[in-house]
Amino acid sequence: MLLVARKNLFSERTRLIISVGGVALSVLLITFLLSLFRGWNEKVGGFVEEVDADVWIAREGTTDFLAAASILPLEGVDERFSHFDSVERWSPLIVRPMAATKDGSEIDVEFVGFDTETGMGGPVGIKEGKEVPGPGEVIVDEALSRRNGVKVGDTIGAGGRDWRVVGKSSGGDFVAAATIFVALEEAQDVLEMEGFATFFLLQMKNPDRAALWARIIEDQEAGIMAITSDDFAAATRDRALGDVIPILTVILILAFIVGLAVAGLTIYTATVEKAREYGILKAMGFTNGYLYRVVFEQSLVTGLLGFTVGAGLTLLLAPFAQDFVPQFVVFVRWQDLLAVAGCTLLMVILAAYIPVRRLAAIDPVAAFNA
């Protein structure tokens, strides 16, 4: 680093703290928002991706897992799927968004009834207690335990009945809601859906060709839609986060502008304050290129320090974010940190641009003014 750049930057501690703080705040905000988006994205589509199925069958017009209003008759399904050699096995699944209750307070849940024999559509993982719920029993996602204090042994109300919590599962957190699992027959009974299901989950003999078979099934079966797990997960993510993305984007842009403004203003005022000294350097034979480098290095180091502080704080605080706000599910990816580093670089280049223009206009003759 050039001597003048280093001295200018570090001799004004307060200014340095303000400019580094501004960039750090901006980086913190950007990385946290990105990580929050990644966290939500991971959670919202995660369950659909993790379910042991290659193709989901639903009533035509169904958009996603969360707003599942599909109703499919179970009668004759075995015979219909037997025509498709590619189907390894299938299983019905009932999903209904609803409000469960615990100690009088309401909890948003995805009420899931799965076939306990196939296990398809059941809990992704078991953290505590039973793996298969029996009559009157429910397995709740750990997110409910964390956010609402539901524990194994508790009783919760759902669908007009009380259920005893017998297990705690993982992988069923949708941030705004979480899954609770009961046996398929219990769900059919409670929801008065005997002989019906919300989805059919298909396991294919060749999962790599799931998309092709989904199209074939959809073409041959009237009134249904067939979609691969990946596409259904993407549709669910889009449903949950589609409206959030534009808002997040605006906040990200504002965070970038805040960082740019703070860094730009502090570097600009530092340049203006030192204009006379830059004029002296010009008079003594220093080129414009040297002076540009001085300003750019100051800006770059400010950005580097700001990024280090901002990203460091993100990594430090992220693991505890959910402890303070349960919905604050963050997932910090190194790719995002790399992207934010790129943003910071862009920020400091832009922040140095106007001061550099100011430097070009400094007349070295001014050094002779007393």
Residue 24 C-beta: closest distance to another protein, Å: 23
* Residue 195 within binding range of another protein, rule CB under 8 A: no
* Residue 370 within binding range of another protein, rule CB under 8 A: yes
Single residue of 76, 160, 195, 285 touching another protein by CB under 8 A: 285
Single residue of 43, 102, 282, 293 touching another protein by CB under 8 A: 282
Residue 346 C-beta: closest distance to another protein, Å: 28
Is the CA virtual torsion 79, 82, 83, 87 positive or negative?
Answer: positive
- Tokens encoding 153: 């042994």
* Residue 367 within binding range of another protein, rule CB under 8 A: yes
- Tokens encoding 212: 């092709």
Residue 238 C-beta: closest distance to another protein, Å: 54
Single residue of 286, 292, 331, 353 touching another protein by CB under 8 A: 286
User: Contacts with another protein in 307-366 (CB under 8 A)?
Assistant: 364-365
Q: How far is 147 from 139, CA to CA, in rounded Å?
A: 16
Phi–psi pair at 67, nearest 5 degrees: -100, 45
C-beta of residue 301 within 8 angstroms of C-beta of residue 9: yes
Single residue of 284, 316, 325, 361 touching another protein by CB under 8 A: 284
C-beta of residue 68 within 8 angstroms of C-beta of residue 199: yes
Q: Which string of b and e fits 67-96 if b means at least 16 CB within 10 Å?
A: ebebebeeeeeeebbeebebbeebbbbbbb
Phi–psi pair at 94, nearest 5 degrees: -110, 130
* Residue 3 within binding range of another protein, rule CB under 8 A: yes
* Residue 184 within binding range of another protein, rule CB under 8 A: no
Burial of 194 (0-12, 13-18, 19+ CB in 10 A): exposed
- Please list, in sequence order, all residues whose beta carbon lies within 8 angstroms of the beta carbon of residue 283, skipping any fewer than 6 positions away: 364, 365, 367, 368
Residue 254 C-beta: closest distance to another protein, Å: 34
Burial of 157 (0-12, 13-18, 19+ CB in 10 A): middle
Contact window for another protein (CB under 8 A) among 2-10, 141-149, 224-232, 302-310? 2-10
> Applying CB under 8 A, what is the total number of residues that bind another protein?
21
User: x-or-dash pattern for another protein, window 103-132, by CB under 8 A?
Assistant: ------------------------------
Single residue of 125, 247, 287, 320 touching another protein by CB under 8 A: 287
* Residue 368 within binding range of another protein, rule CB under 8 A: yes
- Residue 54 vs 297, nearer CB to another protein: 297
Single residue of 7, 205, 209, 215 touching another protein by CB under 8 A: 7
- Residue 237 vs 282, nearer CB to another protein: 282
* Residue 1 within binding range of another protein, rule CB under 8 A: no
- Please list, in sequence order, all residues whose beta carbon lies within 8 angstroms of the beta carbon of residue 335, skipping any fewer than 6 positions away: none
C-beta of residue 99 within 8 angstroms of C-beta of residue 91: no
Q: How many CA atoms lie within 13 A of 25 on its CB side?
A: 15
* Residue 14 within binding range of another protein, rule CB under 8 A: no
- Which residues in this chain contact another protein in the complex, by CB under 8 A? 3-4, 7-8, 11-12, 276-277, 280-287, 364-365, 367-368, 370
